[in-house]
Chains A and B, each alone.
Chain A
């Protein structure tokens, strides 16, 4: 069942608060909610939360035979599961508009922007390649699921390590992680997604990382995916509010700054986690 649109008092209060320069959770207009990353016991298992929005991402890998037209390339598939567990507005088997947007955007950000070096997934040309599978589960939706999903996906890929393989002639040996240290994936870059909400009232400034109410009442959303090197990967706009080119350039600059912060956070958390995993062998 689709939930009814927010009530009149909620709508009035949100707009009057935004007019006074206040956001409902006490943030600045261009401030994201705190990001927390929790790693599981396995490599490539990460729980990412953006305020109360929570997403679980997990990567696994298997060996397959490549199709004859692309014998040197591995695969990456993304399975996103947005179940009613996240919010009662999602239904199984009937994807809502938001769900479709998230799935397509995830595909654009992670697969089509060439994050994973597919040729590095090749083991034996024409015979064996790695097939990466990224599973994303949305646990709780409290607005801006998209950014959280993209972040969780990228971090899971960065955290994942595949088993080492040895090729002698035509023979492939897979070494279990207890024998040889697993190898990180070779990633070209790390795009992060940032969503800005615009409101139909032109006097209201855009907000970054909209919460549930802001997302429901927006007049338009822009999602920008870019990496810390200021390389723009995806820009997606939905909603009918017309925007000036200057506005868009302004928010791209904001997103570029945020991408640097998020990148630093992700790297430091991964480093921390990796330190904790070191085992001394005597």
Chain B
């Protein structure tokens, strides 16, 4: 693992190279001195990681501001209805577009009716540095919702981007711990937003506080500390 800074060249090479968040292939061919090695640059500071066979590369860091990356699931708030679709705030510099037809079972006649202020769990389908991000609420191949769509009820918690990536790791302690103590429903958005639902307001508040306490940006509590926080408030 090494640390990269924005603009730094990354020695990523593979026949079937896949670049994750924080890396960019320079589009200008003259940039690359050598035709055989594509020039890959880091666009953010962080630790450089790659998969075991070197085909997938990404930069990991901690931030509070989200930069959209394709195929990441995010939680957004509908800010405006416009024509065929919706404008959704996903916490990035620009609001994202969500097409009215990008839902399971949506047709020209039968489109979802989302109000301004509704919460949406969606996937980023397009993230380009010169264009506004686009979202979709279904899998483009199977046309099934696969859990995406409007989030009703519950509550929204904000956390650091590192914590929400960690929560997707099955080995992270927090979600199994919360699940063993409360009935828990959670949607993790990689834009630093977590939607939670439980049986009553007390449980939701307890879960929200536990998540905030485990955030490395705040106290960064470990498993034992969170357990004592929840059991002896």
Chain A residues within 8 Å of B, Cβ to Cβ: 3-13, 16-17, 20, 22, 24-26, 52, 88
Q: Tell me, yes or no, whether B151 is within 8 Å of chain A by CB.
A: yes
Residues of B close to A5: CB separation below 8 A:
117
Residues of A close to B201: CB separation below 8 A:
13, 16-17, 20, 22
- Does B154 contact A9, Cβ atoms closer than 8 Å? yes
**A13 in contact with B89 given A7-B117, A22-B201, A88-B65 (CB within 8 Å):** no
Nearest CB of A to B165, in Å: 21
Q: When chains A and B are docked, how far (Å) is the Cα of A10 from the Cα of B201?
A: 12
Residues of A close to B208: CB separation below 8 A:
24
Q: Tell me, yes or no, whether B79 is within 8 Å of chain A by CB.
A: yes
- Does A8 contact B233, Cβ atoms closer than 8 Å? no
Could you list some 30 contacts between A and B, CB below 8 A?
A4-B79, A4-B117, A5-B117, A7-B77, A7-B117, A7-B119, A8-B115, A8-B117, A9-B119, A9-B151, A9-B152, A9-B155, A9-B195, A10-B155, A10-B156, A11-B117, A13-B154, A13-B201, A13-B204, A16-B201, A17-B204, A17-B205, A20-B202, A22-B202, A24-B205, A24-B208, A25-B205, A26-B233, A52-B218, A88-B65
Q: When chains A and B are docked, how far (Å) is the Cα of A6 from the Cα of B201?
A: 18
Q: Tell me, yes or no, whether B13 is within 8 Å of chain A by CB.
A: no
Q: Mark B101-132, 1 if CB is under 8 A from A, else 0.
A: 00000000000000101110000000000000
Please list the 6 inter-chain residue pairs (A to B) with the smallest Cβ-Cβ separation, ordered nearest first. Answer: A8-B117, A13-B155, A4-B79, A17-B201, A7-B77, A4-B89
Q: Mark B155-168, 1 if CB is under 8 A from A, else 0.
A: 11000000000000
Q: Determine which residue in B155, B202, B204 has the highest number of CB atoms from chain A within 10 A of its CB, and name it.
A: B155
Q: Tell me, yes or no, whether B209 is within 8 Å of chain A by CB.
A: yes
- Does B205 contact A22, Cβ atoms closer than 8 Å? yes
Q: When chains A and B are docked, how far (Å) is the Cα of A261 from the Cα of B201?
A: 31
- Does A9 contact B205, Cβ atoms closer than 8 Å? no
Residues of A close to B156: CB separation below 8 A:
7, 9-10
Q: Determine which residue in A7, A26, A88 has the highest number of CB atoms from chain B within 10 A of its CB, and name it.
A: A7
8 Å CB interface, B43-90 against A: 65, 77, 79, 89
Q: Tell me, yes or no, whether B176 is within 8 Å of chain A by CB.
A: no
Nearest CB of A to B208, in Å: 7
Q: Mark B188-206, 1 if CB is under 8 A from A, else 0.
A: 0000000100000110110
- Does A9 contact B89, Cβ atoms closer than 8 Å? no
Residues of A close to B233: CB separation below 8 A:
26
Q: Tell me, yes or no, whether B220 is within 8 Å of chain A by CB.
A: no
Chain B residues within 8 Å of A, Cβ to Cβ: 65, 77, 79, 89, 115, 117-119, 151-156, 195, 201-202, 204-205, 208-209, 218, 233
Determine the residue in chain A with the shortest Cβ distance to B115: A8
- Does A12 contact B153, Cβ atoms closer than 8 Å? yes
- Does A8 contact B155, Cβ atoms closer than 8 Å? no
- Does A9 contact B153, Cβ atoms closer than 8 Å? yes
Determine the residue in chain A with the shortest Cβ distance to B155: A13
**A8 in contact with B119 given A13-B155, A88-B65 (CB within 8 Å):** yes
Residues of A close to B202: CB separation below 8 A:
20, 22
Residues of A close to B115: CB separation below 8 A:
8
Nearest CB of B to A234, in Å: 32
- Does A26 contact B118, Cβ atoms closer than 8 Å? no
Known pairs A9-B152, A25-B209. 4 more at Cβ < 8 A?
Answer: A7-B156, A9-B195, A13-B201, A20-B201
Q: When chains A and B are docked, how far (Å) is the Cα of A130 from the Cα of B117?
A: 52
Residues of A close to B209: CB separation below 8 A:
25-26
Residues of B close to A8: CB separation below 8 A:
115, 117-119
Nearest CB of B to A222, in Å: 25
- Does A26 contact B119, Cβ atoms closer than 8 Å? no
Residues of B close to A9: CB separation below 8 A:
119, 151-156, 195
Determine the residue in chain A with the shortest Cβ distance to B152: A9
Nearest CB of A to B209, in Å: 6
Residues of B close to A10: CB separation below 8 A:
155-156
Contacting residue for B77 out of A4, A17, A26, CB 8 A: A4
Determine the residue in chain B with the shortest Cβ distance to A25: B209
Q: When chains A and B are docked, how far (Å) is the Cα of A4 from the Cα of B120?
A: 14
Q: Determine which residue in B154, B201, B202 has the highest number of CB atoms from chain A within 10 A of its CB, and name it.
A: B201
Nearest CB of A to B123, in Å: 19
Q: When chains A and B are docked, how far (Å) is the Cα of A26 from the Cα of B153?
A: 20
Q: When chains A and B are docked, how far (Å) is the Cα of A24 from the Cα of B202?
A: 9
- Does B205 contact A7, Cβ atoms closer than 8 Å? no
Residues of B close to A17: CB separation below 8 A:
201, 204-205
Residues of A close to B77: CB separation below 8 A:
4, 6-7
Nearest CB of B to A214, in Å: 13
Nearest CB of A to B171, in Å: 28
Determine the residue in chain A with the shortest Cβ distance to B94: A1
